[in-house]
C-alpha cells in the first residue's frame, strides 16, 4: 500500500536531508519504505525504516542526537 504524506515529513537519510512524500508498506514481514526527495540535488530515493531519522526541530523541542546512523549494538558487531 502506498500512502501520500500530506504534509511531507522532513527526514535525515544516509544520502542527506530531504522530504518524505510517500510511504510504502508491503507487509508485516518488511520494513516500511520512505520515498524521499533530497534537498541538495532533488533526487528521489527510497529508504527502509531503520535508515531514516526525523530532522531536528527546535520549535517542537526535538533535538536529534542520532543522525549519524550508529545504533547501540553496531559497535558490538565490529
Q: Whole-model pTM?
A: 0.74
The reported pLDDT for the residue numbered 68 is 52
Contact 67, 15 (CB under 8 A): no
Sheet holding 2-13, edge to edge: 44-48, 33-38, 16-24, 2-13, 53-54
The reported pLDDT for the residue numbered 4 is 97
Contact 39, 13 (CB under 8 A): no
How many Å apart are CA 78 and CA 49, to the nearest integer? 22
The stretches in the chain having pLDDT less than 50 are 71-74, 76-78
Contact 14, 47 (CB under 8 A): yes
The reported pLDDT for the residue numbered 29 is 87
Amino acid at each position: 500500500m502506498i500512502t501520500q504524506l500530506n504534509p511531507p515529513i522532513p527526514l535525515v537519510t544516509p544520502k542527506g536531508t530531504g522530504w518524505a512524500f510517500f510511504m510504502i508498506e508491503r507487509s508485516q514481514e518488511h520494513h516500511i519504505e520512505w520515498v524521499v526527495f533530497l534537498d541538495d540535488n532533488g533526487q528521489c530515493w527510497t529508504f527502509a525504516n531503520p535508515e531514516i531519522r526525523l530532522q531536528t526541530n527546535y520549535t517542537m523541542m526535538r533535538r536529534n542526537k542520532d543522525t549519524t546512523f550508529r545504533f547501540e549494538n553496531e559497535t558490538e558487531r565490529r
